């Protein structure tokens, strides 16, 4: 049993690290490799470190797509028109929301979730739970989030 628990924690830590790297792209905080002399050991080490964190072109494209629409989504969240649901997806919470925007965001999120699940050998549902928590914890005050009410055991929408 101890082995299973530590393996589970290790998987969670790898997924959390991947999520942080992707969210750095989405938020515009993606770190660029330090440029050094060609052939230097520092340059080789940095290039290898970034190559290991690469998620592939589909995931990077999805992350940059999310980055491009982040401002519009943040504005809709602030107005209470959309929220973060328990599956790590955007959900309409009011009228007048562009469903194409929500569908595009959720489509890109699913590309990311599927890739992280495959990379880490866990289910897409597990990735969605971990990612949803990260997105809800990082959401701006006033954002609607679908969270577990521990007293009732039911998921309910609340304003952060």
Answer for the pair 83, 157: CB distance below 8 angstroms, yes or no. yes
Arithmetic mean of pLDDT, 101-107: 98
DSSP 82: E
End-to-end CA distance of the chain: 36
Taking each helix axis from N to C end, the angle separating 2-27 and 57-78, rounded to the nearest 10 degrees, works out to 70
Query: pLDDT at position 53, please?
Result: 53
pLDDT at residue 42 tops 60: no
Report the DSSP beta bridge partners of residue 154. 149
Arithmetic mean of pLDDT, 90-115: 95
Answer for the pair 21, 131: CB distance below 8 angstroms, yes or no. no
Arithmetic mean of pLDDT, 74-100: 94
Minimal CA–CA distance to 64: which of 30, 33, 99, 101? 30
Two tokens, residue 106: 């959720």
Arithmetic mean of pLDDT, 111-131: 95
Q: In angstroms, rounded to a whole number, what is the distance separating the alpha carbons of residues 38 and 60?
A: 26
Mean pLDDT of the chain: 83
Tens of pLDDT along 9-40?
A: 567 788 999 999 999 999 987 654 344 444 44
Minimal CA–CA distance to 54: which of 27, 25, 34, 29? 25
Q: In angstroms, rounded to a whole number, what is the distance separating the alpha carbons of residues 14 and 20?
A: 10
Given pLDDT bands bounded at 50, 70 and 90, which one contains residue 8? low
Given pLDDT bands bounded at 50, 70 and 90, which one contains residue 1? low
pTM value > 0.75: yes
Name the percent of the chain lying above pLDDT 90: 66
Arithmetic mean of pLDDT, 108-114: 98
Minimal CA–CA distance to 128: which of 147, 114, 107, 143? 114
- Please give the helix or strand (H or E) that residue 155 lies within, else none: strand 154-159
């Amino acid at each position: 049993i101890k082995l299973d628990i530590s393996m589970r924690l290790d998987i969670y830590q790898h997924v959390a690290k991947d999520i942080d790297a992707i969210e750095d792209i989405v938020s515009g905080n993606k770190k660029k490799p330090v440029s050094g002399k060609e052939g230097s050991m520092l340059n080789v080490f940095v290039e290898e470190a970034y190559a290991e964190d690469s998620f592939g072109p589909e995931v990077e494209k999805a992350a940059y797509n999310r980055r491009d629409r982040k401002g519009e989504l943040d504005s809709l969240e602030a107005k209470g028109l959309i929220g973060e649901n328990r599956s790590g997806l955007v959900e309409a919470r009011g009228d007048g929301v562009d469903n194409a925007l929500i569908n595009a965001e959720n489509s890109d999120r699913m590309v990311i979730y599927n890739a992280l699940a495959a990379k880490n050998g866990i289910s897409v549902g597990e990735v969605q739970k971990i990612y949803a928590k990260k997105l809800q914890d990082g959401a701006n005050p006033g954002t609607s989030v679908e969270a577990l009410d521990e007293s009732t055991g039911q998921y309910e929408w609340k304003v952060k």
